[in-house]
């Protein structure tokens, strides 16, 4: 289930401050999932046990001819189209401005539900002044201070009431969901068509042909899974959207619905920051991951080309690079059915259940061989390990001083788990608890 909130409004009303408050991060720029520029950011929030995506957008300035402001305006419109609900942020210290009024007219024509958020209500006087914003005509209005957090609970309570429970049929739960994600024009739809053996999705060389996600059931060779292509069947003669920003929005929604993410890179172009952004978003959301390097038939090769490509790619994907890499050509159908086997393998790794006795037998030997370093004269000992029920493999290590176990030793434990158990392509979680 994917539910997305877009935070919109004119410049300097506190949209980014509200964004940081909702994702509980004290930094203006989020480096794991972002758009092309600093003003368009993706994050994930949680309230009342329900998770939701959040888009922070740049300040909306209607009719401006400034190139930067026009670019932001286009991206705000994309965010509004993709969002499930809109947070229209205004500034209590300024009252209603002409830009607020003009943007309100645009939002009133939108079919999306709008929460009017009056920000900077830091004292009683500003709280009283917020009442003038009722004249904008929005049914749901909330007064808050994003800086202090005052009033944010009320808007979040109202938000989660709109998020439906993720009820899925039992039969559908047993079938893996696989999303195909990547930048525009890397060959996502071509790959889906090649797997299905039919032109399920329109393919053109125009970046941005892709629009709505398509769910297609793959059922061949005794294997069955849902394919979620971040693509659509509406061909666009011209593409006006900011495609990189749009690709991130679509990728986030597809990954939310999937168990395994197939990240597609273009072998004919250098790996970009946007490629890494999409990859790291899938890692953060703890999905199984397979990387497909498409258009491999177009690359000039010798006997060392693949090794050089793999080394460079794993260096850029670090620290999580225990991921299957598949060099394919969707157009020539080279090695695409190896992908089907990998999907089954990675989905199995995602759902692995390691017996506690076996886990302790293997990992305690490794811990005995390389103990956690002592801190301030305190000897740290780990006595017991168990796997915790979770959507992705999660392991609890019980120690006498868990707070003294650092990241470097945590990386050691993760490497040992991957060495001894089939966890390839799966982001794992390690937690430390007091014995």
Decide if 138 contacts 88 (C-beta within 8 A). yes
**Lowest pLDDT segment from 143-152, 193-202, 278-287, 417-426:** 193-202
pLDDT band at 221 (very low <50, low <70, confident <90, very high): confident
Cα separation values, 387 from 296, 357, 409, Å: 39, 11, 18
The pLDDT tens digits of the residues spanning 387-406 come to: 998 888 999 999 999 999 99
Beta bridge partners of 140: 115
The tokens for 377 are 């004269």
Q: Which helix (H) or strand (E) holds 80?
A: helix 67-82
The tokens for 194 are 């090649």
The tokens for 307 are 């090794």
Predicted local distance difference test score (pLDDT) of residue 70 = 64
Cα 307 to chain center, whole Å? 29
Q: What predicted TM-score, i.e. pTM, was given to this entire model?
A: 0.68
Task: Give the pLDDT mean for 221-247.
Answer: 59
Cα separation values, 252 from 1, 85, 207, 417, Å: 11, 16, 18, 28
DSSP string, 356-419: HHHHHHHHHHHHHHSPPPPBTTBPP-EEEEEEEP-SS-EEEEEESSGGG--HHHHHHHHHHHHH
The tokens for 3 are 């539910």
Decide if 255 contacts 281 (C-beta within 8 A). yes
Beta bridge partners of 326: 292
**Lowest pLDDT segment from 69-78, 293-302, 396-405:** 69-78
Q: Interior CA angle at 80 toward 249 and 191, to 5°?
A: 30
Checking if the pLDDT of 211 tops 50, the result is no
Position with higher pLDDT, 362 vs 207? 362
Task: Give the pLDDT mean for 181-208.
Answer: 67
Q: Alpha-carbon distance 302 to 316, whole Å?
A: 22
Predicted local distance difference test score (pLDDT) of residue 109 = 87
Beta bridge partners of 329: 334
Q: Which helix (H) or strand (E) holds 51?
A: strand 50-56
CB proximity list for 123: less than 8 A, separation 6 or greater: none
Decide if 282 contacts 255 (C-beta within 8 A). yes
Predicted local distance difference test score (pLDDT) of residue 125 = 87
Checking if the pLDDT of 171 tops 90, the result is no
Task: Say which residue the tokens 């050509």 belong to.
Answer: 329
Q: Are strands 4-8 and 85-91 parallel, antiparallel or unpaired?
A: parallel
Q: Are strands 41-47 and 429-434 parallel, antiparallel or unpaired?
A: unpaired
Checking if the pLDDT of 341 tops 80, the result is yes
How many residues are present in the chain? 435
The pLDDT tens digits of the residues spanning 49-61 come to: 888 888 888 777 7
Cα separation values, 300 from 91, 187, 370, Å: 57, 19, 45
Beta strands in 204-350 (DSSP E): 214-220, 223-229, 260-266, 288-294, 325-327
pLDDT band at 432 (very low <50, low <70, confident <90, very high): very high
Predicted local distance difference test score (pLDDT) of residue 328 = 93
């Amino acid at each position: 289930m994917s539910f997305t909130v877009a935070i919109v409004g004119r410049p300097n009303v506190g949209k980014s401050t509200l964004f940081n408050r909702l994702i509980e991060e004290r930094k203006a720029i989020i480096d794991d999932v972002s758009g092309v520029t600093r003003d368009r950011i993706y994050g994930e929030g949680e309230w009342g046990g329900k998770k939701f995506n959040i888009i922070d957008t740049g300040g909306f300035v209607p009719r401006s001819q400034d190139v930067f402001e026009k670019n932001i305006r286009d991206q705000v419109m994309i965010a509004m189209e993709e969002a499930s609900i809109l947070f229209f942020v205004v500034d209590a210290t300024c009252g209603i401005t002409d830009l607020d009024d003009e943007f309100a007219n645009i939002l009133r024509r939108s079919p999306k539900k709008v929460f009017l958020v009056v920000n900077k209500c830091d004292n009683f006087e500003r709280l009283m002044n917020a009442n003038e914003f009722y004249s904008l005509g929005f049914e749901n209005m909330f007064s808050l201070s994003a800086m202090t957090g005052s009033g944010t609970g009320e808007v979040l309570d109202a938000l989660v009431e709109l998020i439906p429970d993720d009820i899925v049929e039992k039969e559908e739960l047993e079938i893996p969901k696989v999303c195909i994600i990547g930048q525009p024009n890397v060959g996502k739809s071509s790959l889906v068509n090649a797997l299905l053996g039919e032109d399920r999705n329109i393919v053109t060389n125009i970046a941005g042909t892709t629009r709505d996600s398509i769910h297609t059931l793959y059922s061949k060779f005794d294997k069955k899974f849902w394919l979620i292509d971040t693509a659509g069947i509406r061909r666009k003669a011209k593409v006006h959207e900011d495609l990189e920003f749009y690709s991130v929005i679509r990728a986030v929604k597809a990954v939310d619905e999937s168990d395994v993410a197939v990240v597609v890179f273009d072998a004919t172009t250098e790996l970009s920051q946007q490629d890494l952004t999409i990859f790291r978003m899938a890692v953060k959301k703890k999905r199984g991951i397979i990387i497909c390097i498409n258009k491999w038939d177009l690359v000039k090769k010798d006997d060392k080309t693949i090794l050089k490509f793999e080394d460079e790619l794993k260096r850029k994907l670090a620290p999580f690079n225990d991921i299957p890499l598949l060099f394919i050509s969707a157009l020539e159908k080279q090695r695409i059915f190896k992908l089907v086997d990998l999907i089954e393998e990675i989905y199995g790794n995602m759902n692995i259940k390691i017996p506690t006795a076996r886990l302790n037998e293997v990992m305690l030997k490794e811990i005995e061989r390389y103990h956690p370093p002592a801190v301030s004269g305190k000897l740290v000992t780990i006595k017991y390990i168990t796997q915790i029920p979770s959507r992705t493999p999660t392991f609890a290590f019980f120690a006498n001083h868990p707070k003294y176990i650092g990241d470097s030793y945590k990386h050691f434990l993760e490497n040992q788990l991957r060495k001894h158990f089939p966890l390839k392509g799966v982001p794992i979680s390690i937690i430390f608890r007091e014995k």
